[in-house]
A and B are shown apart, each in its own frame.
Chain A
């Protein structure tokens, strides 16, 4: 049974990768189409931000139930609809892979580097898909699918390890909570960083007019900054919880709640950077592009913590299984 599920899980991972690639291509085509001359774009009504004053915008929003960013209120392009369809299918395969892996191992599927990557990327895409119910963030599709393909492919090819039982140090309810919430926080930080990158491009376009043309179909830099801020706030709360849960577990497992282990150090650094990001909005001269850079640096630190620290740094969190 174990081997059967393990094999199915691997098949599901590679299938998900293939479908994610289709989604990535379709998302790219959509952005390319948005770069078409303005006349064609208006047909789909994506320049709503330019039309009307406050009241009309409000009425339109109430009438169409379109996202508050005031962009993309028209019908989405064919590639975009295809891309979202592919992403959903790929994500279902991806989740199936993680669940099968868990069933095969008879535990949560996040106990070594391959499994962390498998589950964390599924959570990132899950957060991306769920966020569409809140705001239309489909323009991040290229970034999210591209990022996930890269991580998942490297994990499947280079980090794959066969299922092995949990060492006793990981046999704890905190494994379920601590690692899951950390992955959830990572998902929010990933989307926040994507929004911040878009914000940086948009701010440059608004200032100089430079940059790819599809930026015209995206929300304004200020709107992107607001979205990024709200997404990162949620990520920050999850990250704070991860830190606290980790400290409680460390107290039980190692007899101290904090010991400046390399992983603890980097979790602290990330927490501090994002605390800085949140304060930057209230600081003269830091709002706008500067704070966006902080969000990008913060997410880079998350990725550094996940990859380089897990694989190359010496410490107590050596669970990569490689």
Chain B
């Protein structure tokens, strides 16, 4: 945009001009002018808003990866088309990125010349008083009996007190104020660039990782101890500050009185013991909305659930497998699903799919369901399979999934035997004389999200600058005011006042009449025009 104009200046209609022939450099300059023009910036801005829409209609890989998988299953024909258009990664797609990069280039092309121009304006003196003030905003003329020099002096001091920068000319005072408007404007736009740079660069030095910890277990902040880990572009493993946290207890409060919200969790707290690199220990609690800052990272409480403690013995009573198995919650009453894989020690490989009900009840249909999320009457049911679990091929398998295809059901499911049912302390036989399984107790687990994002602080600083720049850039009026003293006959003078808005300034007229009134008051005059 034209750098010599304030941002909200209203352009006059474009005059029709005959264009000269442009060479290569001429065309480069032409495209640069086009790109940095306000029309193009506005077009890109609106295009950006439009381009953001698909990402809200279709699940995104970053925020909802399961949704993307589901979408693929539900729309097998549409998925490849959308995927090739990068719609599942809208906000890092080529088309979305190119719009905002063009917009920011256009923005920088606007900020730089405007900053230069503003720096010059900050040093400049107010301009010469126009010869005729009559056509300017708020023109007021008063004839009075006063000394011309005194009138000029008081005009100058009045304007200076109101924060104007003044320049005295022969018979008039020229004043300008509101330089902060353009300063705020430039701060706002520069801070937008700042946010983009901070996000782009700072994000690369961060990382996030997830880990499920059962009560009594510990988590050490090294790469190998995470369940999943997303490093930034410039990540190296020495970004991980050494510490250890152990989950002592996990507290939950459930609503029991309000009939409309029975079972709603109103309070979670993961009570942990922390150990830093020097071996100093401390206790802390991690809650929703209250992350724990430790090392250079923050630990967030993301989820929780139950982890039954299960032990499998062979027919001789020898323990072949024992674990605290985190079960993934499926509903608000924490009906949870867990997978048990026993590859060694029994006559055959055994896999089990477990359903855990913290407070079990039988529905009218005969199906089991959980009716409250707390451990009032816990029950574990197990479908049991034998066969090759596929663990010996060296291919990593999810611990949260068991594909029963190719396995032989021996309890529950398609088998003739009912599912195994265990209450706390129960030991039951695995069908076929394979051995026994025991549920000795039920612990809780917490899932933690560990984040390190050095961009956060910078983004916050720029965000505050954005807000500050917006407020000053929009609401500080930039205006020029002139006061003219015209000597007349018999000691009479004519005092003239007028203003000029530089940018949006709805209060200018009132400001000028106010100055006229105050000035008259200073001179001891009554308004007699």
Say whether A147 faces chain B, with CB atoms less than 8 Å apart.
Answer: no
Which A residues are CB-close (under 8 A) to B53? 265, 269
Interface contact A167-B265, CB-CB below 8 Å: yes
Say whether A81 faces chain B, with CB atoms less than 8 Å apart.
Answer: no
Interface contact A237-B470, CB-CB below 8 Å: yes
Given known A-B contacts A252-B291, A257-B459, A168 and B260 have beta carbons under 8 A apart: no
Which B residues are CB-close (under 8 A) to A279? 7, 38, 41-42, 45
Which A residues are CB-close (under 8 A) to B463? 244, 247
Interface contact B260-A161, CB-CB below 8 Å: yes
The CA-CA distance from A280 to B48 in the complex, in Å, is: 15
Q: Which of B41, B49, B260 contacts A269 (CB 8 A)?
A: B49
Q: Which of A248, A280, A313, A315 contacts B42 (CB 8 A)?
A: A280
Which A residues are CB-close (under 8 A) to B451? 255-256
Interface contact A168-B60, CB-CB below 8 Å: no
Interface contact B13-A272, CB-CB below 8 Å: no
Interface contact A169-B266, CB-CB below 8 Å: no
Q: Which of A172, A248, A284, A313 contacts B14 (CB 8 A)?
A: A284
Beta-carbon nearest neighbor of A258 in chain B:
B199
Which A residues are CB-close (under 8 A) to B261? 164-165
Q: Which of A167, A247, A285 contacts B264 (CB 8 A)?
A: A167
Interface contact A253-B289, CB-CB below 8 Å: yes
Output the least CB separation between A59 and chain B (Å). Answer: 10
Output the least CB separation between A295 and chain B (Å). Answer: 13
Which B residues are CB-close (under 8 A) to A244? 463-464, 466-467
Which B residues are CB-close (under 8 A) to A269? 49, 52-53, 56
The CA-CA distance from A310 to B470 in the complex, in Å, is: 29
Q: Mark B70-111, 1 if CB is under 8 A from A, else 0.
A: 000000000000000000001100000000000000000000
Q: Which of B8, B11, B199, B474 contacts A284 (CB 8 A)?
A: B11
Interface contact B39-A284, CB-CB below 8 Å: yes
Interface contact B52-A272, CB-CB below 8 Å: yes
- Total CB contacts across the A-B interface at under 8 A: 149
Say whether B460 faces chain A, with CB atoms less than 8 Å apart.
Answer: yes
Say whether B165 faces chain A, with CB atoms less than 8 Å apart.
Answer: no
Which A residues are CB-close (under 8 A) to B14? 284
Given known A-B contacts A248-B460, A269-B52, A283-B11, A163 and B45 have beta carbons under 8 A apart: no
Beta-carbon nearest neighbor of B464 in chain A:
A244
Interface contact B258-A313, CB-CB below 8 Å: no
Given known A-B contacts A273-B49, A282-B9, A283-B42, A260 and B55 have beta carbons under 8 A apart: yes
Interface contact B288-A314, CB-CB below 8 Å: no
Q: Which of B10, B90, B509 contacts A282 (CB 8 A)?
A: B10
Output the least CB separation between B466 and chain A (Å). Answer: 7
Which B residues are CB-close (under 8 A) to A286? 39, 42
The CA-CA distance from A278 to B7 in the complex, in Å, is: 10
Say whether B275 faces chain A, with CB atoms less than 8 Å apart.
Answer: no
Which B residues are CB-close (under 8 A) to A287? 10
Chain A interface residue count, CB cutoff 8 Å, equals: 60
Q: Which of A257, A260, A261, A269 has the most CB of B within 10 A?
A: A260
Contacting residues of chain B (258-317) with chain A, CB-CB under 8 angstroms: 258, 260-261, 264-268, 287-291, 298, 300
Output the least CB separation between A230 and chain B (Å). Answer: 6
Which A residues are CB-close (under 8 A) to B13? 284
Interface contact A314-B260, CB-CB below 8 Å: no
Output the least CB separation between B74 and chain A (Å). Answer: 13
Which B residues are CB-close (under 8 A) to A62? 513
Interface contact B513-A283, CB-CB below 8 Å: no
Q: What is the size category of the interface that chain B forms with chain A? A: 35 or more
Interface contact A260-B506, CB-CB below 8 Å: no
Which A residues are CB-close (under 8 A) to B290? 252
The CA-CA distance from A259 to B199 in the complex, in Å, is: 12
The CA-CA distance from A259 to B456 in the complex, in Å, is: 13
Interface contact B38-A265, CB-CB below 8 Å: no
The CA-CA distance from A197 to B433 in the complex, in Å, is: 79
Which A residues are CB-close (under 8 A) to B475? 233
Output the least CB separation between A66 and chain B (Å). Answer: 14
The CA-CA distance from A285 to B459 in the complex, in Å, is: 35
Interface contact B63-A259, CB-CB below 8 Å: yes
What's the dominant secondary structure at chain B's contact region? mixed
Say whether B1 faces chain A, with CB atoms less than 8 Å apart.
Answer: yes
Say whether A275 faces chain B, with CB atoms less than 8 Å apart.
Answer: yes
Contacting residues of chain A (235-290) with chain B, CB-CB under 8 angstroms: 236-237, 240-241, 244, 247-248, 251-262, 265-266, 268-269, 272-273, 275-276, 278-287
The CA-CA distance from A256 to B450 in the complex, in Å, is: 11
Q: Which of A256, A260, A268, A275 contacts B453 (CB 8 A)?
A: A256
Output the least CB separation between B284 and chain A (Å). Answer: 16
Interface contact A168-B10, CB-CB below 8 Å: no
Contacting residues of chain A (49-78) with chain B, CB-CB under 8 angstroms: 58, 62
Interface contact A171-B506, CB-CB below 8 Å: no
Contacting residues of chain B (175-230) with chain A, CB-CB under 8 angstroms: 199, 208
Q: Mark B447-468, 1 if CB is under 8 A from A, else 0.
A: 0010101001001100110110
Which B residues are CB-close (under 8 A) to A252? 289-291
Given known A-B contacts A281-B10, A284-B13, A169 and B298 have beta carbons under 8 A apart: no
The CA-CA distance from A171 to B292 in the complex, in Å, is: 17
The CA-CA distance from A236 to B67 in the complex, in Å, is: 33
Say whether B248 faces chain A, with CB atoms less than 8 Å apart.
Answer: no
Beta-carbon nearest neighbor of A161 in chain B:
B260
Which B residues are CB-close (under 8 A) to A256? 208, 451, 453
The CA-CA distance from A251 to B456 in the complex, in Å, is: 8
Say whether A15 faces chain B, with CB atoms less than 8 Å apart.
Answer: no
Which A residues are CB-close (under 8 A) to B375? none
Interface contact A314-B59, CB-CB below 8 Å: yes
The CA-CA distance from A58 to B140 in the complex, in Å, is: 11
Beta-carbon nearest neighbor of A294 in chain B:
B46
Q: Which of A167, A257, A261 contacts B63 (CB 8 A)?
A: A261
Output the least CB separation between B52 and chain A (Å). Answer: 5
Contacting residues of chain B (6-31) with chain A, CB-CB under 8 angstroms: 7-11, 13-14
The CA-CA distance from A309 to B56 in the complex, in Å, is: 9
Which B residues are CB-close (under 8 A) to A257? 456, 459-460
Q: Besides the contacts A282-B9, A313-B56, what 15 more A-B pairs have beta carbons closer than 8 Å?
A: A161-B260, A171-B288, A236-B470, A237-B467, A237-B470, A240-B467, A252-B291, A269-B53, A272-B52, A278-B8, A279-B7, A282-B10, A284-B14, A284-B39, A314-B59
Q: B interface vs A, CB < 8 Å?
A: 1, 7-11, 13-14, 38-39, 41-42, 45-46, 48-49, 52-53, 55-56, 59-60, 62-64, 67, 90-91, 199, 208, 255, 258, 260-261, 264-268, 287-291, 298, 300, 449, 451, 453, 456, 459-460, 463-464, 466-467, 470-471, 474-475, 504, 506, 509, 513
19 A–B contact pairs at CB < 8 A? A240-B467, A251-B456, A252-B290, A252-B291, A253-B288, A253-B300, A255-B208, A255-B449, A260-B63, A260-B91, A272-B49, A273-B46, A276-B45, A279-B7, A282-B38, A283-B42, A284-B13, A284-B39, A294-B46
8 residue pairs, one from A and one from B, having the closest CB atoms: A164-B261, A272-B49, A162-B260, A265-B56, A284-B11, A255-B300, A168-B288, A255-B451
